[in-house]
Amino acid sequence: MIDLAHVQKTFGSNTVLRDVSLTIPKGTSMVIIGGSGTGKSVLLKCILGLVTPDAGVISLDGQDVTTADRDAFLARFGMLFQGAALFDSLPVWQNVAFRLLRGSLQRPRAEAREIAIEKLRRVGLKPDVADRLPAELSGGMQKRVGLARAIAAEPEIIFFDEPTTGLDPIMAGVINDLIREIVTEMGATAMTITHDMSSVRAIADNVAMLHDGVIQWTGPVAQMDHSGDPYVDQFISGRATGPIEAVR
């Protein structure tokens, strides 16, 4: 279980997270929605310790993440970055198998490569991309390689930052199914950021909407359509008029 209590983060004079409290039960899929620039990515980075919150407590299974053993903590996580963040000096398969080629999870190279190719297949990429460099791939392909890398070591907790942005609808469907499968079959805990409402419905157990530095609404996905919250209504219907300003 991941628990955030009163998390705050300010960059210079830009207050991004004012007071975020949220609970993600173990083995469930939480989807974060919210306008671009509202701090969704920053929120995930706070949990991972890539960004240090100014205030608030983040705990994993009841233990404060700032006091936890960093290596053991990170070993449980996988993360897909918004921009894929592939290592451009390494070929695709070495990106996917990064964790399996070094450190405590190290495997023989041939075996790591096998696993990488299998993970690439799961995100809809053919084995022949394995030896290409990330710079030779399209944005959507890079995103899927990033996804394969995030799931390669079969982590317990996986964060997906806009997994279907830049993908065609069919490939987006493949990725949605994959994320759902990871949660239901492998029992992983997932936290996904997306703007794509069909993704939300396909992936989510619970939904949280981040707006103006706070969790504006959170609840099971089935209640999203009857939340009675004007912010959520405007967001899911995609109206330009409403409480959320179109110019931010």
Partner 1 sequence: MSALAPIGAIGRGTLAAMSSVGRVTLFALSALAHMIRPPFYPRELAVALLNIGWLSLPVVGLTAIFTGAALALQIYSGGARFNAEAVVPQIVAIGMVRELGPVLVGLMIAARVTSSIAAEIATMKVTEQIDALVTLSTHPMKYLVAPRVLAALLVVPLLVGIGDIIGIFGGYAVATGSLGFNAAAYLKNTVDFLEPLDVISSLVKGCAFGGIAALMGCYFGMQSGRGAQGVGRATKGSVEAAAVLILAANFLLTGAFFSL
Ligand X SMILES: Nc1ncnc2c1ncn2[C@@H]1O[C@H](COP(=O)(O)OP(=O)(O)O)[C@@H](O)[C@H]1O
Interface residues with partner 1 (CB under 8 A) are 45, 48-50, 71, 74-75, 77-79, 81-83, 85-88, 98-99, 102-104, 149
Record the tokens describing residue 63, joined without a space: 């233990």
79 touches which of Mg ion, partner 1, ligand X, none (CB within 5 to 8 A by kind)? partner 1
**Using rule CB under 5 A, residue 41 touches Mg ion:** yes
Radius of gyration of the chain (CA): 18
93/160 with CB nearer ligand X: 160
Interface with ligand X by CB under 6 A: which residues?
Answer: 11, 14, 16, 36-42
1/50 with CB nearer ligand X: 50
- Bridge partners (DSSP) of residue 222 are none
Q: Cα dist. 185→31, 59, 84, 195, 227 in Å?
A: 18, 25, 25, 25, 29
Q: How far apart are the first and last CA of the chain?
A: 33
Compute the distance between CA of residue 224 and CA of residue 32 in angstroms, rounded to an integer: 12
Record the tokens describing residue 77, joined without a space: 């996580």
11/87 with CB nearer ligand X: 11
> Closest distance between partner 1 and the C-beta of residue 27, in Å?
21
Record the tokens describing residue 1, joined without a space: 């279980």
59/164 with CB nearer Mg ion: 164
Over the window 54 to 93, marking each residue x when it contacts Mg ion by CB under 5 A and - when it does not, the resulting string is ----------------------------x-----------
37 touches which of ligand X, Mg ion, partner 1, none (CB within 5 to 8 A by kind)? ligand X
